Amino acid sequence: MKSNRVSLAFVVLLFLTLGNAVAQQLPQERPPVNVAGNWVVYTKGDDGKTGTHYVTLIQNGNTLTGHFKGPNQSGGIEGTVNVRHILFKTKTRNVLTFRGMINGDSMQGNFGIRGHHGTWQAQRTN
C-alpha cells in the first residue's frame, strides 16, 4: 500500500509540475505582419495561362480591405491576415480567392477562380 501511495503522489506531482511548465511556455499571441500597400500579383493557372494583377491592401489589425485590378475585371477586396498567413477574395463578377504566406515584401500561395486553380506570387511596390 505504501508503494502505491508513493507512486500516486509522484504521478500527481509530475502532472502538477508538467502542467505548470506547459502553462508557462504557451506562446504569446503574435500580431499579423504588415501587408498594407500596393502589390503586383503574378498568377499561373492550371491551364498554363499567366496574368498580372494589381492589388492595394488596407489593413486594420487582422482585417483586409482594398482594391483589385486585373486584365478583365476590377473591384474591392476583403480578407484576413493571421500572423504570416493571408487570405483575400476579390469582390468581382468572377471571384478570385488568394491564400498564401507573407515573407516581408513578397507573398506567394495558391488561388482559385470558378473551379480553376493555380499559383501566385506578389511583390510590394511601395
- How many distinct structural domains can be found in the chain? 1
- Per the domain annotation, does 75 fall within a domain? yes
- Per the domain annotation, does 56 fall within a domain? yes
DSSP state of 20: H
C-beta of residue 96 within 8 angstroms of C-beta of residue 112: yes
- Per the domain annotation, does 6 fall within a domain? no
Q: How far is CA 72 from the centre of its chain?
A: 26
Structure confidence at residue 99 as a pLDDT band (50, 70, 90): very high
- Per the domain annotation, does 62 fall within a domain? yes
Q: What is the CATH number of the domain that holds 45?
A: 2.40.128.120
- Per the domain annotation, does 41 fall within a domain? yes
Read off the pLDDT of residues 5-16 as tens digits, 9 standing for 90 and up.
656 555 555 455
For residue 25, the model assigns a pLDDT of 56
Read off the pLDDT of residues 46-82 as tens digits, 9 standing for 90 and up.
999 999 999 999 999 999 999 999 999 999 999 999 9
Q: Decide if pLDDT at 23 tops 70.
A: no
Q: What is the pTM of this model?
A: 0.77
Side-chain-side CA neighbours of 63 within 13 Å: the count stands at 2
Domain of residue 65, residue span: 37-124
